Each structure stands twice: as C-alpha cells, then as structure tokens.
Amino acid sequence: MRAKSGNNQATQAKPKRSTGRTYSRSALNKTPSGKREIKLQIASKDRKIVLFNKPFDVLCQFTDDADRKTLAEFIPIKEVYAAGRLDRDSEGLLLLTNCGKLQNTLTAPDKKTNKTYWAQVEGEPTSESINDLCNGVKLKDGLTLPANVKVIDEPTIWARNPPVRERKAIPTTWLSITINEGRNRQVRRMTAHIGHPTLRLIRYSIGNYTLDDINCGEYKVYKGSPALTCAPCALTYKLSIQPSTRG
C-alpha cells in the first residue's frame, strides 16, 4: 500500500539565509524562567556606516572558499554587513553597517531607495532606446519600473584592472541610470535588452550616500545615531565622520 504523500516522508528543512541584521525575531532567546528575551540593539554611539568603493573582481563578502578577493582584504572593521549586493564584475559604492534598521530601510523593496549607476555601454543608444529604459522594459522576470536614464560625459574615474575590452570600430556611451529595484544584474539586462551591452558598471550612489571623495579600494566610516530614517531616498544622518583608507 502506498504511503500518503507528506505523512511518512521526512521533510528536509531549507537552510536559513543569513541577513547580517543586528536584531530580528529569530534572535529571541529564552530566559531560565521560560520567557523570551529580545536581543539588545546596538547602542547609538556604536552604530557604524562604512562607505566602500569596491574594485572590480572583489566579492561582497568577507570569506571565500575559492580564495577569491573579498572585503577582508580592504576593510578590517568587524561586525558590519553589506546593505544590498554589488556583483563581482561591478564596481563602486557598497554600504556596510551594523545597524539592522538601516539595512532594511535601504534594501526592502517597499522602501524604493534610489540607486544610481554609471554604465559604459557598447554603441550609441538612440533617444527612443533611452525612453524605453525610462518607461520600463520587459525582462524575463517582468516589466521594470520607470527609471531615470540619461547620456552623460565620460566620468573622471579610476582605471579598471583589467581594462575594459573595447572594439575599436564600435564607439561606447556612458549612461547614468537610476533605479529603485534590486533585481539580479538588472542594469546589465536592461541595456542588453535595448541592444547595448554594458561593458563597465559603477554604482555611484545609494540614497543620499555617494562615491564622492572615496578612491577605488578605500572607504569612509560614519559613526553615530541617525537623525532621520523614515523617508526613502532622503535619509539624513547626523554623524561624526572618520575617513579611513585601506591598510
């Protein structure tokens, strides 16, 4: 006789994904009396925000079994976690923090925090193609939300190592692309959709945080308590700043 599905078969539990948050319901502990106790939040004076200019070919994590470059080679600060990801082959602004509330504010889909990227694309997109990106294009995972896209002059930036492979017969164009979604490799897929593959991608800003005055491979540390955390894309922080560099 067949066993009824789901009654006698062991269900394999899926491993939980670590978010790096400093507090959560999963962090609740039971006291000797049997009551649950919430893990204390980090004190205001101990809160940190690290703005890192990530180089090409660096993973957004501190360890790697395959011996690839990680954040540990650049950032010696402990117990900070990335608010969002930046692909290994992308460069630019990565924000790390030990404040779980800030992580959620910057990454939760419903908060719609703006992120601006500088994309060097192959060819010269037409005005019609730019308008398509602004209005939303249909990718495999659905229609993208409206974006702010414009052609810009080549920014004054660091040389990439290794250099971008450009074809001499085909010009390139720099675009500024601002989105408030967090789909996997979204900007690259958007430019590929209009026939202009991305050759180089740099994240310039997350909300009001930017790459300004941060060299490639270096970081800045902000310490203190946030003065305002509720308005997406308009976060204002009253913090003391501690500039830092690699090493």
Q: Do the bridges between strand 172-179 and strand 115-122 make them parallel or antiparallel, or are there none, so unpaired? A: antiparallel
Residue 87: active-site member: yes
> CA geometry: angle at 150 spanning 91 and 165, to 5°?
45
- Taking residue 25's Cβ as centre, other Cβ atoms within 10 Å add up to 8
> CA geometry: angle at 57 spanning 51 and 59, to 5°?
60
Q: Which of 46, 57, 87, 89 is catalytic?
A: 87
The pair phi, psi for residue 166, each rounded to 5°, is -105, 145
The length of the chain is 247
Q: Give the helix ranges, DSSP H, for the chain.
A: 100-107, 127-135, 186-193
Q: CA 5 to CA 170: how far, in whole Å?
A: 59
Helix (H, G, I), strand (E, B) or coil at 200: strand
Give the residue from 132, 229, 114, 87 showing the smallest Cα distance to 181: 114
Q: CA 170 to CA 78: how far, in whole Å?
A: 45
The pair phi, psi for residue 187, each rounded to 5°, is -60, -45
Q: Which helix (H) or strand (E) holds 25?
A: none
Helix (H, G, I), strand (E, B) or coil at 33: coil
Active site residues: 87
